[in-house]
Amino acid sequence: MSDVLLEVSGLQTGYGDLTVVRDVSLTVRQGEITVLLGRNGAGKTTTLRAITGLNRVQGGTVSYLGGALTEAAHKRVARGISYVQEGKKVFHELTIEQNLILGGFSRGVGKRELISAAEEIYQLFPILGSKRALAAASMSGGQQQMLAIGQALMAKPKLLILDEPSQGLAPVIVKEVMERVHELKGTGLGILLVEQAVQDSVAIADEVTVVEMGRTVLSGSARDVSVDDLQQAYFGKAS
C-alpha cells in the first residue's frame, strides 16, 4: 500500500455563509492517481479550493502527510502541493521558459537551477522545449495546458492537483494529456485529478471518488468500479 499523502474526511466548505460541499471524503497516495468525478455543480472545484487553502474549511478534516493542513495557500505550495486550476492559467505575454521559471520561484533557488529544472519539463512535454522562446499566447489550448502542468511541476511538488486539464481540448489532445499525467505518477507524485472526461480519467486512475450535491456517493479502487457503479453515482442512486 502506498503512503497516504492527502486524507480528506467529511469535508464541509463553500463561499461565505453558503455551504456547497457538505460531506466529501477522499484519499490520495504517493505514486497514485485519485480521480474526482461528478456532474457540473457537484462541488468538485470547491473541494479542491478548500484543499489548497483558497476556501475556508467549515467542517471535517484535511490532512497532508499525516498532519492537519491549515496553512495559507501560498505556504501549501512550499509544503509540496501544486494546484493547476481549470482554464489554462498561464502568463500569455511571457515566453514558455519564463512561465516555467516563475513556476519554480517558490523553491527559492537560483535561475541556473530553475533553467536546469525546466529541461526536465521539456523531456516530459517536448513541444514546450521546441517553442521555449515563444510567447505562451502563441500556443494552442492543449499546449497551454501542458505549460500550466509544467509550471506546477517546477515547484517540485509531492501532491499535484489538476482541475479539468482536458477542458476544451480535442479528443486526441485529451488522450495525450492523460498519458502524460499517467507518466507522472511513475515519479512518485500523488495526483488528485478532477475531470469530465470520465472514461479517459478512470482508465489512468487508481482510486475513484464521485460526488453529487456536495457529498461523496461512490469511492473505491478504479479496478473495482464498474460502469454501472458510475452511472448509479451520477444519477444519485449510489448508497
| Number of domains the chain is built from | 2
Query: How far is residue 58's CA from residue 19's CA, in Å, rounded to a whole number?
Result: 8
Average pLDDT of the chain to the nearest whole number: 91
98 plus 12 within the same structural domain: no
Q: In terms of domains, do 147 and 70 share one?
A: no
pLDDT of residue 4: 95
* Span 208-236, pLDDT tens digits: 999 999 999 999 999 998 888 888 888 75
Which of 135, 127, 123, 124 is closest to 97 using CA atoms? 135
Rg (CA), the chain: 17
- How do residues 51-91 score in pLDDT, each as one tens digit? 999 999 999 999 999 999 999 998 999 899 999 998 767 99
Tell which of 104, 135, 156 closes a domain: 156
Q: What is the mean pLDDT of residues 106-116?
A: 85
Parent domain of 6? 1-80+157-239
Do residue 54 and residue 140 come from a single domain? no
What is the predicted pLDDT for the residue at 239? Answer: 41
The set of residues, in sequence order, having a beta carbon less than 8 Å from that of 97 and lying 6+ positions away, is: 115, 118, 132, 133
Final residue in a domain of this structure, among 156, 185, 202: 156
Same domain, 59 and 100: no
* 238 or 122, which is more confident: 122
Q: DSSP E strands: which ranges in the chain? A: 4-15, 18-29, 33-37, 57-64, 67-68, 81-84, 159-163, 190-194, 207-212, 215-221
Q: Do 75 and 180 reside in the same domain of the chain? A: yes
Query: Does position 44 have pLDDT exceeding 70, yes or no?
Result: yes
Domain boundary among 96, 131, 156: 156
Q: Tell whether 178 and 108 lie within a shared domain.
A: no
Mean pLDDT score, 162-167:
90
Q: What is the pLDDT of residue 136?
A: 95
Residue 216 and residue 198 share a domain: yes
Residue 142 pLDDT grade (very low, low, confident, very high; cuts 50, 70, 90): confident
For residue 50, pLDDT beyond 80: yes
> Which positions ≥6 away from 171 have C-beta within 8 Å?
none
18: which 3 cell numbers? 453558503
Q: C-alpha angle with apex 178: 234 to 117, nearest 5 degrees?
A: 135
Residue at 2: amino acid letter = S
Q: Are residues 161 and 239 in the same domain?
A: yes
Q: Is the pLDDT of residue 238 over 50?
A: no
pLDDT score at 33:
97
- 133 and 162 in a single domain? The answer is no
In this prediction, residue 194 has a pLDDT band, given cuts at 50, 70 and 90, of very high
183 and 76 in one domain? yes
* Residues 92 and 179 both lie in one domain: no
Task: Tell whether 99 and 122 lie within a shared domain.
Answer: yes
Report percent pLDDT > 90 for the chain.
73
CATH of the domain at 221: 3.40.50.300
